[in-house]
Amino acid sequence: MNTLKQNEDRVERYLIGRVGRIRRLVDRSVLDPRSRQGRRHRLDAILVALLAGLLGRCDSLRAVERLSERLGLGRKRSKISNTALAYLLGRLDDEALLPLLVQLVKDMRRRGELDHDELGGDWVAIDGKYESLDHDVGGVAQKFEDREAKTIYWRLGQLRAVLISAPGRPALGQRTMRPIPGAQGTAEELKQPGEMTNIRPFIAWMREQYGDLATNFTLDAGLWSRGLFAELDEQGLGIFGNIKNNKPELATETARVLRIECQRHDAEADSGWERTSRGMVRRRLWRSCALDGWNGWRHLRQVIVVEQTTKPHDGSAEVVERRTFGTNLPKATMSARQLLALVRRHWSIDNDCNWTLDVVMNEDAGAWCASGTAMLSLGVLRMIAHNMLQWLRKRHVLIRHQRAQATPMPWAQRQELVAALWVHTGTTLLERLRTPAEA
């Protein structure tokens, strides 16, 4: 079993090395949006303060201000005021900080931290994230009017991508869905047009930034169409999409074909019964290749159904749910067990990334700063912090048992280790982040 001191040392070595890397990248690649007269504190020191606050779960810029004083990050080892933090955040957008995230993911790949395990290849999940706000986020949120309540609000929509095949499920990037000029209708009515307008350039951006790391994509039903399905296949990319009633003809025919398959054959993959918080759960998978080319659906080489049976702990009746999917992958590309694992990984963009950003980093509890484009820049900084914390929690600092397999560290315990690191480091943090050549 690891001692507390061993865990503290591992957290310290990892975070000091990664934050030091970020500081050097900021110096080289991030353009300071402030005027020269308004630069009391260094840009890299401010971003280090914000990142330290996210890693340590600060709940406001006031808390980051207090942390910056403890770490001596300001000019002459002073604090960085919350107004200085807000001023910078309001003038940075996600496009200024995304190169940091991309480079850090590439660093993870060079260190072997992104090696895929049970899926047999690299898979990226893309999903939409929406927030209703009382401001326009620097003009990038869509404006709506609630006529019944006689109120006006703005909706910020973003596409996010997560590498679900890697152990830590690292975030790869985000794309803000800008307002649709002249668009009319409710937020739900404009959701799919916004997603379909942005999904192609977002995938193209990931291909440009990450190359063959972004080769296979899993998408929820609202994010893909027959045209996109064919386009990705013609580019040599893999696509795995949830099939729902927004594609009524395909959903009906898929259900019919797979119902016959379920009646004729045993499941190709079976997870067995697993204990969860809801009860005992079992998942089984069937697939068919009968719809390739059906009704203009070129390259629909497989359709898949996953049947999930839940036995509640209270002894109530079993609950059976079925979800269907389509993919352009030939049957020999992935085994049925790998496809079953992929279905479960598809939801990890919510269960790992979005949950961590919402609950652990308080993204939905209220923005640190609402001025300008602060929410966009904070979104990228949160993804950078998420990638580091998840690798720490799931692979680098595990809870090692004498007789059982190592398990991820609870979030509360991980946060205690990060807080202890900041207390221990104190005002020497910037010096420790420097390389010998900088000292």
Please check whether residue 84 is in contact with residue 50, taking contact to mean a CB–CB distance below 8 angstroms.
no
Query: Do residue 176 and residue 307 come from a single domain?
Result: yes
Note the pLDDT of residue 349: 78
* Res. 205 pLDDT band, cuts 50 70 90: very high
Same domain, 61 and 164: no
Domain match, 66 and 118 both: no
Tell me which of 28-32, 277-281, 307-311, 359-363 is least confident.
359-363
Residues 64 and 149 in one domain: no
Contact (Cβ atoms closer than 8 angstroms) between residue 256 and residue 288: no
Q: Is residue 18 part of a domain?
A: yes
Would residue 360 count as lying in a domain?
Answer: no
Q: For residues 334 and 337, what is the distance between their CA atoms, to the nearest angstrom? A: 8
Predicted confidence band of residue 79 (pLDDT cuts 50, 70, 90): very high
Report whether pLDDT(147) > 50: yes
Domains in the chain, number: 2
SS3 string, 333-358, reads CCCHHHHHHHHHHHCHHHHHHHHHHH
pLDDT at position 4: 65
**Mean of pLDDT values over 57-72:** 92
Show the CA angle centred on residue 34, arms to residues 30 and 38, nearest 5°.
135
- As to burial, measured by CB atoms within 10 angstroms (0-12 exposed, 13-18 middle, 19+ buried), residue 429 is buried
Share of the chain above pLDDT 70, in %: 92
Confidence band for 203, pLDDT divided at 50, 70 and 90? very high
What confidence category does residue 308 fall into, taking pLDDT thresholds of 50, 70 and 90? very high
Residues 73 and 130 in one domain: no
Average pLDDT over the chain reads 87
At residue 339, does pLDDT exceed 80? Answer: yes
- Report the CATH number at residue 190: 3.90.350.10
Percent of the chain topping pLDDT 90 = 52
Is there a domain that residue 387 lies in?
Answer: no
In a domain, 372, yes or no: no
End of a domain among 355, 381, 415? 355
Which candidate, 384, 393, 408, places its Cα nearest to that of 10?
393
Residues 148 and 232 reside in one and the same domain: yes
Is the same domain home to 81 and 131? no
Residues 164 and 297 in one domain: yes
Domain boundary among 290, 322, 355: 355
Residue 366 lies in a domain: no
Residue 436: what pLDDT?
47
Highest mean pLDDT among 1-15, 168-182, 354-368 belongs to: 168-182
pLDDT tens digits, one per residue of 114-123: 887 788 899 9
- Asked if the structure places residue 231 within a domain, the reply is yes
Q: Which domain holds residue 113?
A: 95-355
- On whether the CB atoms of residues 65 and 79 are closer than 8 A, the answer is yes
Q: What is the model's pLDDT at position 394?
A: 73
Higher-pLDDT residue of 400 and 79 is 79
pTM of the model: 0.91
b or e along 75-96 (b: 16 or more beta carbons within 10 Å of the residue's beta carbon)?
A: eeeebbbbebbbbbbbbbbbeb
Mean of pLDDT values over 404-431: 77
117 or 23: which carries more pLDDT confidence?
23
Residue 406's pLDDT is: 57
Residue 363 lies in a domain: no
Q: Are residues 204 and 238 in the same domain?
A: yes
Question: What pLDDT, on a 0 to 100 scale, did the predictor assign at position 398?
Answer: 53
Contacts of 91 (CB under 8 A, 6+ apart): 33, 34, 372, 373
Closest by CA to 377, choosing from 42, 11, 107, 43, is 43
Q: What is the pLDDT of residue 294?
A: 93
| Strand-strand pairing, 274-275 and 319-327 | unpaired
Q: Over 60: is that where the pLDDT of 302 sits?
A: yes
Same domain, 274 and 290: yes
Mean pLDDT of 177-204: 84
Single residue among 300, 328, 355 that ends a domain in this structure: 355
- Examine residue 264 and state whether it is found in any structural domain, yes or no: yes
Interval 385-406 mean pLDDT: 66
pLDDT band of 395, cuts 50, 70, 90: low
Same domain, 117 and 138: yes
- Residue 412 and residue 289 share a domain: no
Q: Which pLDDT score, from 0 to 100, does residue 99 have?
A: 94
Asked whether residue 255 carries a pLDDT value surpassing 70, the answer given is: yes
